[in-house]
Chains A and B, each alone.
Chain A
C-alpha cells in the first residue's frame, strides 16, 4: 500500500533528539580536541553526570538502547562549566570503550542505535544485534576540553519489540474504519437503498461515448503517468472498462497509449474482458492499446500527436498526472474534443478544471467504480467514507478548540511517533 497522502507523522521525540545531536556536535566542533587533562593549576573539572540508566529503545527490531542520566551538578548551576556530555560504549565491561555520541548540555537522554548488519565485504563492529548487551559510561566535558571523572559502567540489553506503539493511532483508526466499512457493506447487501449524489463527470461518460459514435471518431483514453499500483490508475481501469463495454456495443475505436508496461498489460486485459462480456470479442484489437515510452515529455509529445492527427471525439484523462496535465488538456481543447478528467494530484486539478469539460476531484475518481456499478457493496464503502469524514471533521473542530484552549490531549491522541 503506497501512502503518499496519509499521515506523514508528527515531529516527536526524534526531532528533538536529532536537533540536539546536531547542536551538540556543532558545539563539539568548536571544542579544542587537545583532550587536555584536568591538572591542579588549570580551570577546575566539572562533576560527572549521575544516576545513569539504560533502557531498550522501544518500537524497533532490537538495534538500539536509550541512555538517560541526571545532569552534572555543574550543568546550569555550580561551576556551570559543562559544555557537552560524551557517551562511550563497549561490548564488555572492561572495555575498550569507544565514543558513541556528544550531547549538548542540559540534555538527559541519548539514543544509541546501529541497525546495519555486517556482511563479508562491509564489516560493522558497531552493529547492535537483537539481544546484545552493551556497557556505557559518561563524561562531562567543558568548553576547554577539560573532562570530568567517568561515571560507573552501566549495561543494557537490546530487545526485539513486537509492536510499534507510536503507530497505535493508525492501527486503531484503520480497524475502526474497516469495521464501519464491513458493517455498511452488510447493511447494503440486505437491500437498504443508499443515496449517492450524482457526479456530472460520471454522468457525462455515456454521452461522450455517444458523441464519438455519432461523429465516427475514436475515443482517446489516457491513464496518466502512474503505475498499476496507484489507486488513481486503478480507478482509471474501472472507468476504462465501462468505456470499452460501450464502445464495443457501438463499434467505436478506443485508443489507449500508455507509459508503463505493467499498466499496458492490465489495460489490454481490461479492454479485452469488456469486449468479451458484451459478446464482441472479434471487435477487440490489442494494437489500439500500446506502450509509447516511460518518459514524461516524450509521452506528452506522442499523445499530442495522436490528438492532432486523429482528432478524437472524446478524451479521457483518468489517473496520476503531473506537469503534462495542462499540455495534454489544452491540446485536446485545440483539437475540439469533449474532455473528461479525473486525478488525485491536487496540483493538477486547477489545470484540468480550467481546460476540460468535466473533472473528477480526487476521491470522486476513486468512487467511480461504485457509481458505475451501482452495486450495494460498493455504495456501502462510499457511505463508510462519508461517516468517517464526518468523524474526522468533528475531530478537526474539537482539536482546533482544544489546542486554542491549551489542552493538548486530543492532539496527543492522534499523534504518530515514528
Chain B
C-alpha cells in the first residue's frame, strides 16, 4: 500500500528518522519525568532508605522479605480478585449500554450519557464520601430502604463486615469504571460504518446479533484499551481503598498500593516500598503484555 511503499522506499536509501521525530517530544517528557524516576525507584529497591536520611545498600534483602510478607501477598490476591469488579463487570455493562445508547430513536440520549459518566468524573474523595454514606448501616439509603421493606436482617455493616466489605468496595469500583468504559466505547462506535448495520438489518438480524457481530468487532481496539487500562487500574488501585476502608476490616481489602504508601510515607521504608513498586509493575507488565499480544493478533488478522 502507498504509505509503506513510500517509507519502504525511503528505508532502502537512508535511515528514516521521521517516525522518531514525531515521537520525540512525547518521549522526552516521558523519559525525564517518568522513566528516570522509575529507574531510580528500581535502584532504591536495593537499599534501606527512609527517604530523607542516608541510604544503606542491602542487595536483594527487600525482595526476599517481600516474598514472605503476608500483607503484601494478601494485597496482591485482593488486587487480582478486584479484576472482576474493575474489568469484567464494567466492560459488560458498558457494552450493553453502548448498544442501547446507539439506537436511533432514543429520547434523552445525551442526558443518559452525561449521567453515566458522572461517576467517573468525581474525585475519589467525593466517591468515598458518597459511598460511605450509602453503605452507612444506621442512616444510609441502602439499609434504610432494606429496613423499610422488612428486610432488616439484610441490613449489614457493609464496609465493616468481614465477609462483605470486599464485595461492597468492588461494587463501588464497577460503579466508577463503567462510565469510563462507556465513553471509550461510544467514541469507537462513531467509527463503525453504517453500511455494516444496514447489511445486518437486511438479513433480519435483531439487536443482540448486531451487538455481537457488528458493534463489538468494530470497537475491538477500544475494548482492548479498556481491557488493559482497567486491568491496570485493578492492580494499581489506591485512592478508592484509601477513602473507604483503608484496607480494613482487618486486612480484608488491603491492596499492594496501599501497603506501598504505608511503607513509603508512614513507616519510612522507602527502599522496601520501591521493591513493592517494582514487583507490582512487573506483574502488571506481564499481564498487559499478554493481553496486548492477544488483541494485536486479532487486529492484524483483520
A and B interact physically:
no
A→B interface (CB under 8 Å): none
B→A interface (CB under 8 Å): none
